Structure 1
């Protein structure tokens, strides 16, 4: 780590936030000979929500991060930064509801069978009712999911968990969230297929998802995702970049000539960074309040909301408790939303073979009752809830730790899209040298590989000296569930030079545009009418 003591720095690019997006940009820019300075408000860890926290030799993944991407360019970058430390791990997740486990993603025929004949019949009647008479004006998560699955199945498998995660009624959440994050599923196809198989007429499982094969395994750094981002930081510093820990953004001011002057505060005082370009992965609401001059859309940005969460890690006397990477808790008897099993992510994260280590995730708002509870009270709560769920005996719990994560999830409420679009348009018009990247920087629920891709495209734009890629196309219509073949999508075309930009044919452009996470070039493509 580079501990910078100077009070002022002059660099090519100033970067706010040392998460996956900020570190990806810093790494790629330093490879191209650019000077960079990255500020990170956490005093210890880089990686943002993808960091790995260590406590008494036990390592905790904050949120769970499978390393899978359809983008070959992302896969290649992972291999380049961390060439020798990936392991292959089995993938397994389930839903816990009323004492039973259900496959995740949901397998319709299995779910209906587990629910019993009466509730299954009610689910199918509800499903058919909304297929025949769907909600016409789809505005909310509740509307979208009810139309897809029927109100009965929505209320069982979506409402409770979703409201735990977001702390708001499903009817107040944007339908964008459901469309982006819920895997397509045909209940009718699944039930017909299940009946055929029960009669021996079809031995090939379908569950309404025949066209989409979920990956069975994934790669993972042997000591957690923080291993990747520690390595990225070290490579940036080795290439002459600067990573300044424990410094939060105070102000990002336009210098009047297209560049930026960024000030940050930390325990050793203020540091000022002058740069031609600025990259921000800070929450949009936070950035808007610290920009100078203040944007006209500051009020829009101030309305953006975030959901926080905390992980209570428990050490339990047991060789292992369950095989899943994590279990989604759809039961309203408990407050916990998800339970991770860290040994299932990597055996090396749990140093004692006779001790299991699990992480109970609680979704909350910073400052509310859960967030403000003492660590001891949270460990006691987690222990009680593991007992209620039947997952462990409280007497076997031998220790615990708590990790709090601010602004883990940008909230998709009814007004978020309009507020984000207003700020985006203003900043793009006024400040072409200010680049927004990553999950919070763009207020989009990006996965790790999507956040990295926004940084990759931003790097290409900076190197080209113009915005040749529209970074907002990344994850625009992507499916959340990791399906398909790793690295199946083509890499971006090679950058030629700053004057000509990224010259690709129309056929190449169309092919790139069809791939998740590899958007079409902007108007520089010959014959293209796509607007910036």
Structure 2
């Protein structure tokens, strides 16, 4: 179909119009432009591309929003990274730990080390609590709290699982599904760790003492020297060089079916609206927002409107001090403070911090848009971050010489009890009614995937557009939670199998969702919780 005929004056024409300049949108735009297609991308942020993978700059200091290791099992993704940014990757050491009451604990947790750090009295109480629940377990295991208490006892559960988990997800552990706990906490055996620890102390065991059978974690990872935004700035520039357009500061106002299989996209910005006509539309916008702006409105708009998101913000502090800790980030397991993680930006890349005498850290707060944290002023948040760093003993507030706040809305799609049915309903309707509309990325598909998975959904979408038919099922991109933690880079040398070649077992494996907690159903919340 030729969209160039009958276009009104002032309208922009394109082969493909793309909503959102995050990893998925820019990957699609780059590959389509490379294939000779005219692309136009709209991005509501006036300053940054990259979405949650952007790098924000403040007075020469650069902040990674969430932390992004550049590692993928997909060779196609690795090759694309190298093609877009061939000369600016550096190799960085990987280190993440848990912080609790002034001490650091390995992450993933090593049970014997944890008991040693807790001291004789507290570790004895932990072991007694562990033995209590082994002898008298909770019989009707419904929640994350039930499952974890049975595995480790109430004491260790409260120290190493409850506080941080509730900070991240914004709901009580006794309302989170036990299935998620079983998926998330794999192979860790407290008793096995203790036995191994005793053998190790006697010189009878030289194995790493962690009490668990897990794959070796990555010891190093690649990272753009100026942060992940460097990758997406380069992708944007390459798209423009190839004749595409990236229009900043313009959000989607309406995406209208033109009745001929194509699209009329209206984007609004500070100087008014622009209109883009295109054969295909690719959306990485949140499904909830897309449904409300489609014309005609989908019959599943109500289902899409019920999709929920978890937001977060980063408070960056510039501190007159040497680096405070060597970790990329540390997890804060302390109920005295609201901060969930603290990043050390120099540990990601020395070039993120311009002054060698200044340490720059980012305190991450998990919240919901509109709640007390989100609505606080930047000044109040910076003061809170300074107080909490002092409570944790990580720095003296008097040494803080600057600060900045970065808010990230819709960072994590929420997997509540209704999300899967709501997503499936909208997906089915859009695929049937609008075959030239393609959903990609984390929010575009309401799937809690990683950066490389978001890219892969875009790569397969481009293959489908260029082929003129649905060759690949983009919803079968794997979202394994261990994807960034273990295995060899580029071990998956090929694109996922074409739809016709996927067996039911393969499809089930590919469609596995990344571990995210779901709520215990209303009928289960009132179930008895007896430890006898």
Task: Pick the TM interval, shorter chain.
Answer: 0.7 to 0.9
Alpha-carbon distance in 2 for matches of 1:221, 1:339: 20
Unaligned runs of 5+ in 1: 1-5, 495-501, 519-532
* 1:395 corresponds to: 398
User: Residues 66 and 361 of structure 1: is their aligned pair in 2 closer, same or farther, counting only changes over 3 Å?
Assistant: same
CA, structure 1 residues 146+135, in 2 after alignment: closer, same or farther (shift >3 Å)? farther
Residue aligning to 1:473: 476
State the match for 1:452 in structure 2.
455
C-alpha displacement of 1:61: 0.7
CA drift of 1:126 comes to 5.7
Q: Deviations over 1:273-331 (max 9, x none)?
A: 12222111111111111111212221111111112111111111112111011111110
- For residue 194 of structure 1, what is the aligned residue in structure 2? 197
Q: Aligned pairs, how many?
A: 502
Counterpart Cα distance in 2 of 1:168 and 1:97: 21
User: Residue in 2 aligned with 1:382?
Assistant: 385
Q: CA deviation at 1:367?
A: 2.1
Range with greater deviation from structure 2 (354-363 or 481-490): 481-490
Identify which range, 188-197 or 310-319, moves more after superposition: 188-197
Q: Distance in 2 between matches of 1:158 and 1:330?
A: 8
Q: Paired residue for 1:18?
A: 21
Partners of 1:126 and 1:467 lie apart in 2 by 56
- 3-state SS in 2 of match to 1:439: coil
- In the TM superposition, residue 348 of structure 1 has moved relative to its aligned partner by 0.5
Does residue 95 of the first structure (1) align with residue 118 of the second (2)? no
In structure 2, the residue matched to 1:499 is: none
Alignment partner of 1:372 is 2:375: yes
Shift of 1:493: 7.4
2:277 pairs with 1:274: yes
CA contact (8 A) 2:72 2:483 kept: no
Q: Which runs of 5+ in 2 are unaligned?
A: 1-8, 514-532
Match of 1:43 among 42, 46, 54: 46
Matches of 2:31 and 2:242 in 1, distance apart? 10
Aligned to 1:326: 329
Q: Identify the residue that residue 110 of structure 2 maps to in structure 1.
A: 107
Residue of structure 1 in register with 2:435 after alignment: 432
Asked if 2 retains the 8 angstrom alpha-carbon contact of 1:173 and 1:413, the reply is no
Conservation of the 8 A alpha-carbon contact between 1:490 and 1:512: no
Aligned to 2:74: 71
The secondary structure found in structure 1 opposite 2:443 is helix
Q: Which residue pairs with 2:264 in the alignment?
A: 261
Query: 1:120 is matched with which residue?
Result: 126
Q: Secondary structure at the residue paired with 1:333? A: coil
TM-score w.r.t. length of structure 2: 0.88
> 1:173: how far off?
4.1
Instruction: Give me the whole-angstrom Cα distance separating, in 2, the residues matched to 1:148 and 1:429.
Output: 46
C-alpha separation in 1, matches of 2:233 and 2:195: 50
Query: Structure 1 residue 157 and structure 2 residue 165: aligned?
Result: no
Q: Distance in 1 between matches of 2:512 and 2:71?
A: 13
User: 2:337 and 2:22 mapped to 1: Cα distance?
Assistant: 31
Q: Which moved more, 1:307-316 or 1:163-172?
A: 163-172
Instruction: Output the CA distance in 2 between the equivalents of 1:504 and 1:421.
Output: 21
Given that 1:71 and 1:517 are in contact with CA atoms closer than 8 Å, whether structure 2 keeps it comes out as: no
Distance 1:143 1:290, change over 3 A: farther
Does the aligned pair in 2 maintain the 1:477–1:516 contact within 8 Å? no
Q: Secondary structure at the match of 2:425?
A: helix
Give 2:210's aligned residue: 207
Residues 29 and 201 (structure 1), Cα distance of their counterparts in 2 relative to 1, 3 Å cut: same
Instruction: Give 1:186 deviation, angstroms.
Output: 3.5
Query: Which shifted more, 173-182 or 64-73?
Result: 173-182
1:125 deviates by 2.3
2:525 is aligned to none
1:371-427 per-position Cα deviation (integer Å, ceiling 9, x unaligned):
222221111111111111000111111111111111111122232222222222222
| Correspondence for 2:363 | 360
User: Does 1:482 pair with 2:457?
Assistant: no
CA contact (8 A) 2:291 2:298 kept: yes
Moved more, 19-28 or 273-282: 273-282
- Of 27-36 and 341-350, more deviation after overlay is shown by 27-36
Q: CA RMSD in A?
A: 2.7
Question: Which digits, 9 at most, give the CA deviation of each residue in 1:197-223, with x for residues without a partner?
Answer: 122211111423444000011110000
Please give the secondary structure, in 2, of the residue aligned with 1:407. strand
Are the counterparts in 1 of residues 381 and 405 from structure 2 also a CA contact under 8 Å? yes
The answer (yes or no) to whether the contact 1:68–1:218 under 8 Å persists in 2 is yes
CA contact (8 A) 1:304 1:411 kept: yes
8 Å contact from structure 1 (residues 15, 280) kept in 2: yes
Task: Give the C-alpha shift of residue 188 in structure 1.
Answer: 3.9
Q: Which moved more, 1:77-86 or 1:434-443?
A: 434-443
> Residue deviations 1:40-92, cap 9 Å, x none?
00000000011111111111111111111111111111111100000011111
Which whole-Å CA distance do the structure 2 matches of 1:111 and 1:240 have between them?
Answer: 56
Provide the rounded CA distance (Å) in 2 between the counterparts of 1:506 and 1:419.
25
Question: Closer, same or farther in 2 for the Cα pair 1:290/1:484, shift >3 Å?
Answer: same
In the alignment, what sits opposite 2:526?
none
Structure 1 window deviating more from structure 2 (360-369 vs 201-210): it is 201-210
1:174–1:414 contact (8 Å) kept in structure 2: no
Whole-Å separation in 1 of the counterparts to 2:397 and 2:250: 40
Q: Is the 8 A contact 1:343 1:349 kept in 2?
A: yes
1:221 — aligned with what?
Answer: 224
Are 1:312 and 2:318 counterparts? no
